[in-house]
Amino acid sequence: MKKFRKVLDGLTTSSPGGTIGSPSCGSAAGTPTSAPTPKDIDIQETLVAENFQLCKTVRHGFPYQPTALAFDPVQKILAIGSRTGGVRILGRPGVDCYCQHESGAAVLQLQFLINEGALVSACADDTLHLWNLRQRRPAVLHSLKFNRERITFCHLPFQSKWLYVGTERGNTHIVNIESFVLSGYVIMWNKAIELSTKTHPGPVVHLSDSPKDEGKLLIGFESGTIVQWDLRGKKADFRIYYDEAIHSVSWHHEGKQFMCSHSDGSLTLWNLRNTTKPFQVTFPHGKIQKDGRKESCKPILKVEYKTSRNSEPFVVFSGGLSYDKAGRRPTLTIMHGKAITVLEMDYPIVEFMVLCDTPYNNEVQEPYAVVVLLEKDLIVVDLTQSNFPVFENPYPMDVHESPVTCTAYFADCPPDIIPILYSIGAKHKKTGYSQKEWPISGGTWTLGSHTYPEIIITGHADGSIKFWDASAITLQMLYKLKTSKVFEKPKPGEGRAADLVEEDPFAVQMVSWCPQSRIFCVVGISAHIILYRFSKYDANTQIVSLDVRLQCESDDVITPSENENNPCFPEPGSHSPQPHHQYPASPSSGTPEGNKDSIPCLKVKDRVVRVPPGYQAELVIQLLWVDGEPPQQITTLDINSAYGLLAFGNCSGLVVVDYLQKTILLCMSTLDLYGAADPYQRLTRSPRRNRQSTSELCMRGLSNFYSDSKKRIRTSYQSLTELSDNQQSIDMERSKSPTSDHVNGHCTSPTSQPSAGKPRVPMGPEGPRLTRRGPGRPPFRKAQSAACMEISLPVSHTEESRENSFSRSRSSSVSSIDRDTKEAITTLQFGESYGRKTDALPTPCLWVGTSLGVVVVIPMSVPTEQEERMEEPVTIGPSGVVLLLKGSVLRFGFLDCMGVLIQSPHEVWRDLNAPEDPDRPRRRKLINFSPSSSQDTCGEGHLAVVCSERQAKVLLMPSQSCLFVHNITESSFVLRADVVSVCNSVCLACFCANGHIMTLSLPSLRPLVNVNYLPLTDMRIARTFCFTNGGQALYLSSPTEIQRITYSQEMCDNLQEMLGELFTPIETPEAQNRGFLKGFFGGNAHTFDREELFGEAAAGKASRSLAQHIPGQGGVEGMKVAASGVVGDLARARVALDERGQRLGELEDRTALMMTSAETFSKHAHELMLKCKDKKWYQF
């Protein structure tokens, strides 16, 4: 104890006057240095580099831009391919696997090897891949790259090892699935059609074997030509030439007729007895016009013809509607007998598939459901009920119901919070679903031993909030909250509404949640904050509204012509105005709405409202318009339930609100916080020349995602996902303004400084255009949501190009500050700390970080007794600058002198709407984690961890001595940082703009891991990336999907146990007994030997130049991933033993059957011999 206090005394004397500008706080990039402190402060750090490993865990949500669909009817698992080369494999809830083709080429088609634990994918780069699904993380076993022909269609018959591949040239090749090499057997297009035909039949659009005879292959060409090819005789049995283009073909199970869908909206039924003309032609949606002609219809893109024992056949198709009505929604039509049911879909249909009981195509199909893959949803329709209800989807496919604008991730939550949220949310679930179980029920999944309560919160563009149960790497929605219900609906054309956001005024910027007290805060795009309390009871309440007038003085602002870079950087988690928009007219304009002053952006409901159980709004805080200018968006927020205080800031200043007394305690500009202790000398400014442009002066750095006035957050979400694949380059001269760098395709540091003397390039009314686009991505005509915005950060190889890519960082010198006058509040943190160096005991404090790297500690006096707290005022006294860092301050964290993370004080939850109990009055119960409470043996004080976008420092409080410094990066900047607990210790986790994820030990800031995880970072990831405890993190990998990752070695080791099994050993259903007559007269379908025809001995080798075989990593690397030690080896051995035992059992059964037959035959032969032994030859 005495020894430690002497150490503290030595620290305070060694670095008087704090750390600002002290030489002890500088270091070269990437090397931690420490202040001249004695080595007696020795916190045992347990984390080492071996504790960390980065890997993806699971992906949630709807597959972005889906392209293909496949289903295994025996294993009952579903696969979805996407335009970016991803494959999602789904089974029962918990069985959800994501695979990615290395090429990133779009998936054209998927084919399961039914009940074999394998999947074939055909991609747009004309490559076939064979995936091994018998491991928890599937891997590619083989690939086959076609060099001279483009793949258009694939077909794999059930229980066959030969895959038919149709090409754009009209040829059909055959691939051996086991070796993944081409057979020498090829069906050339000119052999398939008649020699007299003068035109090319077009690409192959359909391949299928006849249910009646597997030796007959039906080939459909795009032009309308259909050929049945005799594989044995190598000739065409018949050829059909139809005038309309073919889109799909479907067989009747008896193999005597098939149905085609065409481009004119017709369905044709063909009978094999007469192929000269169709047996039946129908236009399901084509009405007869007055002149007697059929009205023109859209193409029927796919048809499936399925039979049923006890009812009429089902004909299911997509498209075919007439052209007469514009704007009609996409439809799926189900024809059952004479009944026609049209199901309207919310989004275009990508693919559908009818699910049947049997995998055999020559048996009665008995369809029971239809899986419909839409552009933004997955629907399963129940065919067993006459009204065709849909199944309730157990997967979280509606993450993107409204575009995601922010995320938050909470691990190790209180265990009671998930059941309570689920019980409240369950009351608002939709009804009318099918009562049957979800049909995609394959795979196995068990709750792992390494699970704890986890919650993910997503904020959306329509103002809704969704709480998700993310425990055990699953995702299930618990509760949905609509923040828009707090406000009156803005009427279009009204004065206030016309100048503001017309479409998404309630969009969520950020959230702050205290799971212990269940207090929840939402920050919205319209500069508003809503505070919610949780209650299990409904209530009648009137929402209290506080209006705050927060604006910089005119002396603190300069005009755009005087400055290019305005350092008002919101924390990554907020929004900033965009440069290309119109602001309300200035007061001199003379318009009636010109002089807006002291009005909020939205109108809060001023009447008593009935609120249901769950989160109930208690307080709304809104920033006001000032002198005709809209309020700047809120950049950071923190709430503390123990103190009853809420703090937020923006480019203009800081506000502290007492939400218990519903009063504003503090509202001042950032400069006023410093008082006489301003670390910068700011030059005097000339008066502004243009009042209208002042609101543009907030620096647009990385958080520059939403427009601040009209159409502030509106996304081009719908158009984004309805685009073609055409890539068009748009040439433009790159704007030199840092405020538009995110639009030009380069992400600059929030503290970037352009070279002096370059004027801002003016932009037209349409705004800037992109230099480079992704597939089918249009230029931004509107601001986009976090889900849609996408830019790339170039990874530079030279120091000069790095500087050009990310711009130059502002130094801490006075010269660069001369051009930086507006200073944003970028992070806030309540906690027990020391406001002044002379403080002996910790008091409630508010730590404030700014965009100029300044840290200020504000001590407060908060009454502790409940009665005093509701009556006595809270006093606040700023105490001056504590610290200066490079770049914007991003995060604070507090450790005690033993290196243990100090949690913020909080209030224990109490339901204010619960009935009063006279015996047990409700009183506030506070949990206070004071730094001194657990340090009786190791002295007073605590450690403060401060991280900016360039640098991290550890301070000793109250002396404010800098113990450790680490320059995190010089060439990039930190987007997101957090102090997290990993492996029973703590570390500082950082995510940089160049895609690096790194961890630093605490308190020494020793680098532990630095992984280049994402070589190109886009704005969506930057906006939604967040760390949490337990070594986990997440981000929005696409507009519709959440990707969870882990950087903990322990979780990587346990991941195999947590993932679901895709393949389970199931006995293949036996084929139905066809009967003697059917077998005798029905052809020789079961005697067809493909090996004899397609094998190398009979067909020879294919040309080597036609396709190239590429061995995959699934055989070696995949097994290593699946194994992860002895457990995987044992599991694999067990599966192999099961299969071997199953085969041995079948062999034993067959042997026993043969022995029985032999004994019976011997017995009958012996009896016959005895009977005929004594007969003469003439007696026979």
Compute φ and ψ for 128, nearest 5 degrees: -100, 140
- Residue 75 burial class via C-beta count within 10 angstroms: exposed 0-12, middle 13-18, buried 19 and up: buried
Supply the DSSP symbol for 49: G
- Give every CB contact of residue 868 below 8 A, 6+ residues apart in sequence: none
Q: What are phi and psi of 866, to 5 degrees?
A: -65, -45
Q: Which residue has the tokens 């989160």?
A: 615
Q: Could you give the C-alpha distances from 715 to 584, 783, 1032, 1055, in angstroms and in order?
A: 22, 6, 29, 36
Region class of 944: left (phi > 0), else alpha (psi between -120 and 50), else beta: beta
What is the model's pLDDT at position 1121?
40
Number of CB atoms found within 10 A of residue 515's CB: 17
* Separation between Cα atoms, residue 847 and residue 37, nearest integer Å: 25
pLDDT in tens, 1159-1170: 888 888 888 877
* pLDDT score, position 629: 87
Q: Helix, strand or coil for residue 1009?
A: strand
CA neighbor of 906 nearest in space, from 986, 830, 828, 985 = 830
Of 70, 188, 57, 185, give the one whose Cα is nearest residue 120: 70
Q: Are 930 and 904 in contact (CB under 8 A)?
A: no
Q: Which of 80, 124, 128 is nearest to 105 (CA)?
A: 124
Quick one: which of 457, 455, 439, 459 has its CA closest to 394? 439
Distance CA 446, CA 321 (A): 45
For residues 933 and 947, what is the distance between their CA atoms, to the nearest angstrom?
26
549: its two tokens: 């007038």
d(Cα 1180, Cα 1178) in Å, to the nearest integer? Answer: 6
Work out the widest C-alpha separation in the chain, in whole angstroms.
137
Q: How far apart are CA 411 and CA 468, in angstroms?
A: 12
- pLDDT at position 871: 87
First CA to last CA across the chain, in angstroms?
Answer: 119
Side-by-side strand order, sheet with 508-514: 508-514, 519-524, 528-535, 614-623, 544-548
Q: Could you tell me the two tokens for 1096?
A: 């190398």
Tokens representing 286 are 């084509």
Nearest to 224 by CA among 193, 195, 252, 257: 193
* Helix, strand, coil percent values for the chain (each to nearest 5): 15, 35, 50
pLDDT of residue 1180: 58
Beta-carbon count within 10 A of 562 CB: 13
Short-list 950, 681, 678, 677, CA closest to 810? 950
DSSP character for 733?
Answer: P
**pLDDT given for residue 597 in this prediction:** 76
As a whole number of angstroms, the distance between CA 445 and CA 448 comes to 9
Sign of CA dihedral 430, 436, 442, 446: positive
Letter string b/e over residues 1124-1139, b meaning 16 or more CB atoms within 10 A of that residue's CB: beeebeebeeebeeee
Cα dihedral 263, 266, 269, 275 in deg (nearest 10): -60
| CA 992/CA 397 separation, integer angstroms | 29
DSSP string, 267-298: EEEEETTB-SS-SEEE-TT--B-TTSPBPPB-
pLDDT at position 485: 94
Structure tokens at 283: 């236009």
Residue closest to 557 by CA, chosen among 671, 636, 637: 671
Residue type, 1143: R
Query: Residue 58 corresponds to which tokens in the numbers above?
Result: 């699971």
> CB under 8 Å to 578, separation ≥6 — which residues?
700, 704, 706, 707, 708, 739, 740, 743, 767, 783
Burial letters 336-371, b for 16+ CB under 10 A, else e = beeeeeebebebebbbbbbbbebbbbbbbbbbbbbb
What span, in angstroms and rounded, lies between the C-alpha atoms of 1047 and 1043? 13
Q: Rounded CA gap, 236 and 258, in Å?
A: 17
In this prediction, residue 1142 carries a pLDDT of 67
Residue 1088, token pair as written in the block: 């067809």
Tokens of 612: 């249901």
- Beta strands (DSSP E) in 1020-1106 are 1026-1028, 1032-1038, 1041-1048
Cβ atoms < 10 Å from Cβ of 649? 29
* Distance (Å, whole) CA 94 – CA 472: 9
How many whole angstroms separate alpha carbon 184 and alpha carbon 822? 73
The neighbour count for residue 54, using CB atoms within 10 Å, is 18
Low-confidence ranges of the chain (pLDDT < 70): 1-41, 325-326, 448-450, 492-502, 552-596, 676-677, 681-821, 918-922, 929-939, 1015-1017, 1074-1087, 1114-1142, 1176-1180
Q: Which residue has the tokens 């997509």?
A: 318
Q: How far apart are CA 851 and CA 900, in angstroms?
A: 28
pLDDT digits (tens, 9 = 90+) for 464-521: 999 999 998 889 999 999 999 999 987 765 544 444 445 789 999 999 999 999 999 9
Q: How much is the pLDDT for 739?
A: 32
Question: Using one digit for the tens of pLDDT, what is the confidence trace for 1112-1144?
Answer: 876 544 444 434 444 445 555 665 666 666 677
Contact 225, 201 (CB under 8 A): yes
